Amino acid sequence: MEDKASLLRGRRTKIVSTLGPASSTKEMIQTLFFAGVDVFRLNFSHGTHEEQAARYHIIRELEKETGKVIGVLADIQGPKLRVGNFADGKVTLKTGTVFRLDLDTTLGTEQRVCLPHPEIINSAEPGCRLLLDDGKLCLIVRKVGKDFLETEVVVGGSLSNHKGVNVPDMILPIPALTEKDHKDLKFALELGVDFIGLSFVQRPEDVQEAKDISNGRAWIVTKMEKPQAMQNIDAILELTDGVMVARGDLGVEMPPEEVPLAQIKIIRKARQLGKPVIVATQMLESMISSPTPTRAEASDIATAVFEGADAVMLSAESAAGQYPKEAVSIMDRIISRVEKDDEWRKLMEATREQPHNNVADAIVAAVQKICNTLETPAVVAFTRRGKTAQRMSRERPDSMIFGVTPTMESARKLALVWGVHPYHSVTVDNPACSVEDMVAEASRIVQSYQVVTKGDHMVVIAGMPFGQAGSTNLIRVVDIQ
């Protein structure tokens, strides 16, 4: 394996990569890790529990072999709304014609098909839109019956069995977690994943349900992919541990011109709260079948980095594409190049959030000024649950942040946080740990990664007494001898 210094990413923005048929062997997972992956995503919309467990154990084995902390995100499918089956497998809906959706399970025709979701029928009103097959077809509800909807085809096309249905104009009385989701969530938590991706959230209550089940075992990452979630964004962000800009379904249910604005809004609000935010979906879509990205895709990644996202994500590109390694490598190169640009640094400084009125925020704001003045290569944040490192990340310092924690669970969660290099240290797992002990451990860590040289300064932040959550109150500037 490579030496420790080579495993230190030269960038702050993290990379999340989805595993799938193209990337499930130990050799490929290891290849993606060395190419730059910080967090691996297990997509529970596909594959069996046995397949997901095999991928998880390979990741943990790799983590043990390299000594570098790796995060794992389990993405839960959520309620999928779909039409039923057609007698001939598919039909062509013509613009301007009438099409009926009902609860009758009889095979569909060009005049009607089963919609096995009574909650849609009960919630619909005349004028509501139904978007089929990822928004390729559009129907407008003209009449609502007890067990049917009569619609007009506004945008026609081919419609086949089990195609998805999006309902941007309705709030459906369905939970974000289906029976399948409950089973998947229980399995993922028992497996030991670090993050749960929560799909199709509409209300803050959806987030609270998942948090109650998780009970602190994993961070809840809410996927913002419904207009209703955008309407409840403040309440949702207050509850959730992290957020994902899931531009796939969001782009179906919202007009295309609204999606970039929604992305900016989500990132800004998440940064204000110091909660990690992932930008996802179609970032390098062309690389599913091409070894190089389009220039528009390169700009898309750069935009997310300029906006201050904590992470960018690959989906089908690494799960099922022909060039998973190349996709990770070019994403790493684009991020690294942007973060070397003077304009990026100026933007990070200009968009830095004001500290909240508490001691911990005052401490990290002061550390930011110290780092700028002394040009310190590293900040070492001693933290039990990760909050001190998260606060330091919110400042977007130019210095590398080492999040040193006595619990591996906290270290793995920090793998998603901007600029933080998570480090698990049992040395500091002691309430009697002194400031001198922490300084010695901090010096050992940064020197082992060759981040500092003789004559440099390093800043240590912690809470005293050590191990007491929420007590960040210490700054120590250390001269490297």
Catalytic residues: 41, 82, 223, 281
Tokens of 198: 């929560």
How far apart are alpha carbons 390 and 116 in whole angstroms? 44
3-state secondary structure at position 275: coil
- For residues 381-415, one letter each, b for 16 or more C-beta atoms within 10 angstroms of the residue's C-beta and e for the rest, the string is bbbbbbbbbbbbbbbbbbbbbbbbbbbeebbbbbb
Cis geometry, peptide bond prior to residue 465 (ω within 30 degrees of 0) = yes
**What are the distances in angstroms from CA 267 to CA 198, 277, 319, 345?**
17, 6, 25, 17
CB 126 within 8 A of CB 82: no
Instruction: Please tell me the number of Cα atoms within 13 Å of 177 on its side-chain side.
Output: 22
Q: 97: which DSSP letter? A: -
Question: How far are the Cα atoms of 288, 344, 415, 417 from residue 38, in angstroms, in the given order?
Answer: 20, 22, 6, 10
Which residues are paired to 39 by β-bridges?
Answer: 16, 71
> For residue 278, which of 18, 5, 6, 7 has the smallest C-alpha distance?
18
Residue 270's Cβ-side half-sphere holds a number of Cα atoms within 13 Å equal to: 31
Count of residues in the chain: 481
How far apart are alpha carbons 7 and 451 in whole angstroms? 12
How many Cα atoms are found within 13 Å in the side-chain-facing hemisphere of 364? 30
Question: Mind giving me the DSSP string for 198-247?
Answer: E-S--SHHHHHHHHHHHTTSSEEEEEE-SHHHHHTHHHHHHH-SEEEEEH
CA distances, 17 to each of 41, 141, 406 (Å): 6, 39, 27
Instruction: Return the closest-CA partner of residue 473 out of 371, 358, 379, 372.
Output: 358
